[in-house]
Structure 1
Amino acid sequence: MLIISVFIIGAVVADQSSSTECPAVLKAAGVSDMFAPMIAHSVHSLTLEDIRYFFDADATEENGVPTVNMDLFSDTRVLPNAPLIGYDDDFSTMGMKAFDLVMRNMNRTWWGITNYNTLETLLHAYHMAEIWDKTAEKYKTVARLLDPESEICACMTDVENNDVLNYMNLLAFKIRYPGITSGNKTIADQYIEQRKRRSAAYRIAYDLSLQAAHFRSLDFDGFDFDLPDVELLGDIAEKLVDNEEVISQHIDSSEHWEFWKNLIKQGMDESGFYDLAVFLFCTLN
């Protein structure tokens, strides 16, 4: 898939006048139809330190990679740039740095992922690092062959119009309010009250599956994600239903670990890694 797609990239870059329509440009470059939700899921917890380690050692704080705000109490749900998170550089491996970050925040109920216990938060960190590690080789290949001034990059970085930013906001809602898109419309009222109280009473967690088949194309027409959470929860529960299941089994036994292990093994297919590599290269260059 990557070899074929990179060949097509070369052709599209060589003839940028062939199309001015982004869907056609991206399709010709081998980018999947579901790149927007896939990218949102794949970069939502990316930090500047992660970018520098896996992709671009010279990346700056103005990196243009949107991420979900780890402070889930904040009214700002999506950050415009992957933040410098403050890993402890006394540790030499990314694994220990990520471990330390989770442990430093383990008592903050509304930090990172709503209602994940400490083991699950650690699993999420390692799971995302594995995705970035698998993407890193494709990033190197894309970097050799893709022109950052191409129409492809112009389309990939237009996050306000290509739905990446919309899906990032939606993912922020799913993390803050698991089950909000499940089709259970009554859950919105419960979460509105919860948000007002800023409590975390619901022991369910969002599904971290990254399979392309897991995503559905949603219509964001009429949604203004600049509005506060309490003004959007009802409409999201009613109009952005994707029937995403929520997880009620927490990692508290070997049996439940088998459930989570099977979940993360589903992972992304090759097209997802490729989409992510193209997006990150275009955004960082």
Structure 2
Amino acid sequence: MKGAFVLAFVAVFAAVAQANNCPALYRESNLSPIFNETIAHAIHSMTVQGLRLFNPRATANNKIPTVNQNLHNGAKVVPFAPEDPVGNDFYDFTMNMIDRVLTNVGTHDDGLGHHWSPAERIVHVFHMWDLWLHIQPYYQRIASSSPVSDALCECLLDTKSNGIYNNVGWVANHYESGTPISLKNIVEIPPLVDGNSWKIWKKDLLQYYNKESLTDAGMYLYCALKDF
């Protein structure tokens, strides 16, 4: 019994020491100062199908927090990226994805809440796929030439301590009251109805397309998927 207590104490001490060392590891690894925001944006609506862009072996048995696809049933954030298969009634992925989005309009089963129009829902899903494809070469570069240390991965995957989980939760909470399309909203996002409103949407959507944000996301996804 005494030995078990000592082992438990050592484990807790090691966990605390690791947590205290995380900020230094983040700086040494050149993560951006807002990595928990950039990563949360990249993963908040992640799916198993999206994860397979990075690792074809990925399954729903992952530990990537995402917005609950049914915001009206249970927790706002679920601790995994879910399966979200695209059909094959149409020939091309694009039309099959549009079919997937429009089929779910009115079901409240796509993680976006009540407030998004069909056009806005289509923009959102293709924005996320576009972003994931943009992250892909950063992920591949990290995986092939500069693997992330186990210590840093442990810090990044502790999402409830490093702020990633809370930022995913911020998205979930705001989807119930509006259509935020980034965590950096500094202006109210208007309904997407014409070219002028699209200019505002486009500017906001592109906020996470810089090298720092893409590297943050690639590093996190490497850690989350390396053991599949």
Smaller-chain TM-score range?
0.7 to 0.9
How far, CA to CA, are the matches of 1:65 and 1:93 in structure 2?
Answer: 28
Q: 1:149 to 1:261 in 2, by over 3 A?
A: closer
Q: 1:97 to 1:47 in 2, by over 3 A?
A: farther
1:27 maps to a residue whose letter is: R
Per the alignment, residue 263 of structure 1 pairs with 204
Q: After TM superposition, give the deviation of residue 91 of structure 1 in Å.
A: 4.9
How far, CA to CA, are the matches of 1:274 and 1:165 in structure 2?
Answer: 19
Larger CA deviation: 34-43 vs 110-119: 110-119
1:271 maps to a residue whose letter is: E
How far, CA to CA, are the matches of 1:50 and 1:155 in structure 2?
Answer: 23
2:41 maps to a residue whose letter is: H
Deviation per CA, 1:87-128, whole angstroms, max 9, x where unpaired? Answer: 214556543342122111112357432311000110011111
Per the alignment, residue 9 of structure 1 pairs with none
Per the alignment, residue 72 of structure 1 pairs with 71
Q: 1:273 to 1:71 in 2, by over 3 A?
A: same
Q: After TM superposition, give the deviation of residue 65 of structure 1 in Å.
A: 1.3
Q: RMSD of the alignment, in Å?
A: 2.2
How far, CA to CA, are the matches of 1:149 and 1:267 in structure 2?
Answer: 24
Q: How does 1:44-59 map to 2 (within 5 A)?
A: 44-52=44-52, 54-59=53-58
Per the alignment, residue 253 of structure 1 pairs with 194
How far, CA to CA, are the matches of 2:78 and 2:90 in structure 1?
Answer: 26
Runs of 4+ in 1 over 6 A off after TM superposition: none
What secondary structure is seen at the aligned counterpart in 1 of 2:75?
coil
How far, CA to CA, are the matches of 1:92 and 1:276 in structure 2?
Answer: 31
2:170 maps to a residue whose letter is: L
Per the alignment, residue 4 of structure 2 pairs with none
How far, CA to CA, are the matches of 2:71 and 2:91 in structure 1?
Answer: 29
Per the alignment, residue 209 of structure 1 pairs with 182
Q: How does 1:172-251 map to 2 (within 5 A)?
A: 172-178=172-178, 205-206=179-180, 208-209=181-182, 214=184, 244-247=186-189, 249-251=190-192
Q: Which runs of 5+ in 2 are unaligned?
A: 1-18
Check whether the contact 1:72–1:112 (CA below 8 A) recurs between aligned residues. Answer: yes
Q: After TM superposition, give the deviation of residue 79 of structure 1 in Å.
A: 1.3
How far, CA to CA, are the matches of 1:98 and 1:177 in structure 2?
Answer: 25
Check whether the contact 1:64–1:284 (CA below 8 A) recurs between aligned residues. Answer: no
Check whether the contact 1:156–1:279 (CA below 8 A) recurs between aligned residues. Answer: yes
Check whether the contact 2:70–2:108 (CA below 8 A) recurs between aligned residues. Answer: no
Per the alignment, residue 14 of structure 2 pairs with none
1:160 aligned onto 2:160: yes
Q: Which runs of 5+ in 1 are unaligned?
A: 1-18, 179-204, 215-242
1:70 maps to a residue whose letter is: Q
1:120 maps to a residue whose letter is: E
Q: How does 1:137-156 map to 2 (within 5 A)?
A: 137-147=137-147, 150-156=150-156
